[in-house]
Chain A
Amino acid sequence: MQHDATLKVDNLTVDLLTSKTAVRPVDGVSYSVRKGECLAIVGESGSGKTVMNFAPLGLMPAGVSTELSGSVKFNGRELIGLEDGELRHIRGKSIGFIFQDPMSALNPVRRIGRQIAEMAELHLGLSPSAAEARALELIKLVGIPDPEARLRQYPHELSGGLRQRVVIAIALAGEPKLLIADEPTTALDVTVQAQILRLLKDLRKRLDMAMILITHDMGVVASSADDIVVMYAARAVERGPVEEVLTQPRHPYTRALINAIPKSSDTVGTRFRGLSGMPPILGAPNPGCAFAPRCDLAVAECRHTRPLMSQATHSTVRFACPIANTESEIHGTGTCS
């Protein structure tokens, strides 16, 4: 089980240094995803989801320097410590990326066809004309109508949903083993969101890829993902199989998140059950549990001691709250897997 993970992340910590600031948006997070499976990563904006997935692959914007520690293994190969030149051969070819905002992710002055075809040239060694043919196949695969005409168009001539399909076609062009989708539907119309998610699910099954899906939407998690990692303020607070975590959330933050989903049984006019309080500001070092200020269960201890991830009894779910753990499971303390 250890070595068949496509991506295995252990105790990953990311520090970002800009000319003005130093923050730690990812603090000791572990997870893994296997071939053909989908891992959902959920958490509020700014909890470190994007950085956690992009920084180890050298995909941080210019002007930020990144320090990584821990381990990120892709098909058994350690990525941390690789030169950018080596990471480059993994990006695109072995791991495909889908970005949050399809409106800005495509180059505005280059034709769609070229933007897809150059991937096939680079990673599959195809000639320009063969790559164009491959681009046409891909654009059909992602369900874009009138594919021949689309290849000759520029991004601004396409709607957001179609552009996201183009981004997906690009991500697939190198025939990757892992697809990382960072909130792929957040910027899209509600009606288009479901189509894109269905497409991603379908492609993952057909191409037998592993997939990491970053999302806010618990409904999406329930319908698409096998496993889930819940992030709060740079740390993972709970992770495990989706059906278990959603039906029986253990960490107080996960509970609050799930409780905040509007239910069909709500009567009209029910107050929105949002989370009270504000998410913490990263950068201020926190010796205890970052969620303590908003937590109902918090005791004095929570503010001083950092809760470690431990396994729930009779379950593969792991979560970082000793209070909830002892409260619900009197019998056992977490054991290491």
Chain B
Amino acid sequence: MLRYTGNRLQQSVVLLFLASVVCFTLVVSSPGNVAVLIAELRGMIGSPGYVEQIEQEIGLNKPLLIRYADWLGNVIQGDFGISYRTGHDVNADIMNRITVTGMLVAGGAVVATVASLVLGFIGAFWPGGITDRAVRGFALVGASTPTFFVGALVIFMFAVILNLVPAVGFNGLKSWILPWITVAVLPAAVLSRVVRVGLEEAMASPYVLTAKSKGLSRFRIMFRDALPNITPIYINALGTQIGLMTAAAIIVEPLFAWQGMGDYFLNGVRFRDFMVVQACLLLFLTFFIVVNLVVDLTVMATDPRIRRQRSGA
């Protein structure tokens, strides 16, 4: 078990390194001379020699490898540099914004988990019933519905028509509900299908026949015998969905006027603020890698068969 954890950690470090290379290359190779952009932003585009001065200032004239090493060295020390556009410390910006996105994704994940377990279970318990068909239909339609549309729809329904909650803003539980629903709707549909299909499969296994022969009720068999057996596939799928929810933040945050990482990234891209873009991309990829690591370790910890194999006992 320890050896597996160690291997998996090593892998993650390699992935993180690759992610940093990708981030750096993407940003460096994106079109447009950053020095010109900065000069433009500062209103100094006309003054002769200014662009060269900026190039000097941010080290654009150094060899790429050196620039990468400089950047990585700073990043590892937790220094993402200064936004060229606003002159703000990127770290400080991120500190302010990461809790907003964290709140969005964490809340969305909780909503999606609870909803998918309940709906998937009901669907498996009454196959062909109304919940089962509704969720199946929704998962089909939902897969091709943009999150933006979902967001607009829930705002329209709950904030405009029913006037239950505020449409935009970030203050208190009431204002969090709509964004949570918006990010959670599609993951919930996908995950409830995972639960529904997984349970149906598990209910056909021989150990379920044993459980039946014990005289246990179908509900109890599904809950205590079948459900624990789908934990690994569920956690895997949940990890993927959490990753996707983080990506959806780019759409959902502006929709609700939330100033989170998604919004930050979007602004960074729009204004070619490449320190910001680099920082956001790297954090996003890091989050992905960490989620995957956590998923794998959790799966190992919850499945006694794997736990034993991987520990080589």
- Residues in chain A within 8 A of chain B (CB atoms): 57-59, 61-63, 88-93, 96-97, 99, 101, 104-110, 118-119, 122-123, 154, 156-157, 167, 170-171, 174
Contacts and interface: CB of A to CB of B under 8 A. Distances in A.
30 contacts: A59-B209, A61-B204, A62-B204, A89-B215, A90-B215, A92-B216, A93-B215, A97-B213, A99-B213, A101-B206, A104-B205, A104-B207, A105-B206, A105-B207, A105-B209, A105-B210, A106-B210, A108-B229, A108-B304, A108-B305, A109-B302, A109-B303, A109-B304, A118-B224, A122-B215, A156-B308, A157-B308, A170-B214, A174-B214, A174-B215
B210 A167 contact: yes
Interface in B133-158: none
A118 B216 contact: yes
B42 interface: no
Interface in B173-218: 203-207, 209-217
B273 to A, nearest CB: 49
B211 A91 contact: no
Contacts of B225: 107, 110
A157 to B, nearest CB: 7
Nearest to B303: A109
B231 interface: yes
Given A154-B304, A156-B304, A109 B229 contact: yes
A58 B304 contact: no
Contacts of A107: 207, 210-211, 225, 228-229
Give the bracket for the number of chain B residues in contact with chain A. 20 to 34
Nearest to B127: A62
B203, B213, B217, B224, most chain A CB atoms within 10 A: B213
Interface string B71-111: 00000000000000000000000000000000000000000
Contacts of B210: 97, 99, 105-107, 167, 170
B78 to A, nearest CB: 41
Contacts of A88: 215-217
Contacts of B204: 61-63
Interface in B43-90: none
Contact of B203 (A62, A93, A157, A167): A62
B209 A106 contact: no
Nearest to B204: A62
Contacts of A101: 206
A62 B308 CA distance: 31
